[in-house]
A and B are shown apart, each in its own frame.
Chain A
Amino acid sequence: VGIVGNTQLKTFGVVYDLGKSMVGFSPGAC
């Protein structure tokens, strides 16, 4: 497996929705 680590996730809002089985990325969230 590959792994997306926290360095590359910086400033993105990362949303995890277990019900919808979905991961989302929102740029510039913080």
Chain B
Amino acid sequence: AGDAATASHVMLRLEDIFPDSSSSSCETPPQDHEHAASSSSSSSSSHTRMTVVHRHGPCSHLSTADTQHRKPPPSHEDILAADQNRVKSIQHRVAATTSRAGKQPSFPTTSSSVKLPASSGLALGTGNYVATVGIGTPATRQTVVVDTGSDTTWVQCRPCVASCYAQREALFDPARSSTYSNVSCAAAACSDLDVRGCSAGHCLYGVQYGDGSFSVGFFAMDTLSLSSYDSIKGFKFGCGESNDGLFGEASGLLGLGRGKTSLPMQAYAKYGGVFSHCLPARPTSTGYLNFGPTSPPPATQTTPMLTTNGPTFYYVGMTGIHVAGRLLPIPPSVFSSSSSGGGGGGTIVDSGTVITRLPPAAYAALRSAFVAAMAARGYRRAAAAAALLDTCYDFSGMGGVVAIPKVVLLFQGGAYLDVDASGIMYAVRPPSQVCLGFAANDGDGD
């Protein structure tokens, strides 16, 4: 009882943590964009704050527009299946980077007509959070997936030479923007692309993933509006003419990775290479995406970014896990035995992956400790597994009150992430099927 406060999250109202989003309204409607001068005295950079919302929640433009003929949001099984595809995609890319054996798609090089590869792609599963930007002059609203796991921003473009999936907002039309231009093949920016081609002097980009999903089109420049007051002129992005994958009805993707084409890198001089996000706990709430330095809250924990591990991804070093206030007996080598070798595998922080993946030995220790701690609180596993989530509980008849053990992730430098109650369990069918929201990699070397 003495350590109950540090060992458990007590949830007085189960529905507060696992709401039925289909019957809820947006509690904190997205605010107009905020903008302020930086408080940093040593920099002339500014900061801008955007609203981040759950893609399928009532705060999203993608769910509040005309729904009469729209498809219902994906089930949790669909989301988890897509998430597994994304993780395979990331593992594929990491392996390809390590072995330098990544396969590159081919592009036409001299044709005067654009002939883009078009094939059915599997789901990318680009996570669940979106933000709205403006592109072009005048700016047209585009709601895009927030993705720290990739670099190149892209939106679907008219005339969709090959194919576009159905999106909620109007397609971006370059012909209607007075500031749009294609990047030429000779431009240095074209060389920054991981996958590029050339057609009639126009630079082509390709974003292709290990699972087969993709966006291909013209690499272009136009004004990117992050707020009513702040824009980036000459922002380079993909004008997608051939796109497929499970992007929902989003208009594209905002690439926030570490590569040269990412938004943080393109706007480095403006925002100092600093951005932050907060993802809301509930589909009915809003979070933020902030660019530029701001004063961090006093309780901020920091850990080194392991920049030598490879491009694009944000690697950090995980060192251990606490469950219910107790450090799990996981050897440090478990977190550093991946195939990338050298300084260790590291752990990627990815806004586009839904469920945290752990090395098998770490997950086994977490699951064992979590199940034991739940049993000590009177909960028995009584619900079926849901896709990759194998530890599920039935909270029916609990009177809406449950207490779950705390889970804390530990990182190099002493940083820790005391996972919010909403992040420890994933509600597949609340309250009858609520699962531990972690999963294992397939192998120790993944």
Chain A positions within 8 Å of B, measured between CB atoms, are 1-19, 21-30
Contacts and interface: CB of A to CB of B under 8 A. Distances in A.
Interface stretch (B153-161, B201-209, B398-406, B414-422): B414-422
B123 interface: no
A1 B314 contact: no
Interface stretch (B58-66, B342-350, B375-383): B342-350
A12 B347 CA distance: 17
B258 interface: yes
A9 B417 CA distance: 8
Interface residues of B, number: 77
A3 B357 CA distance: 5
Given A23-B303, A23-B349, A2 B277 contact: no
A25 to B, nearest CB: 5
A11 B276 contact: no
Interface in B286-325: 286-288, 296-297, 299-305, 307, 313-316, 318
Given A6-B129, A11-B280, 15 more contacts: A3-B348, A3-B356, A5-B354, A7-B426, A8-B356, A8-B409, A15-B300, A17-B305, A19-B273, A19-B274, A23-B304, A24-B301, A24-B303, A26-B300, A30-B278
B178 to A, nearest CB: 32
9 contacts: A1-B94, A2-B347, A3-B87, A4-B356, A5-B350, A7-B437, A21-B304, A23-B302, A30-B287
A1 B444 CA distance: 9
Interface of B is mostly: mixed
A24 B422 contact: no
A15 to B, nearest CB: 4
B417 A8 contact: yes
Contacts of A21: 304-305, 307
Contacts of B422: 7, 10-11
A29 to B, nearest CB: 4
B144 to A, nearest CB: 15
B87 A30 contact: no
Contacts of B347: 1-4
A18 B274 contact: yes
A5 B315 contact: no
Contacts of B212: none
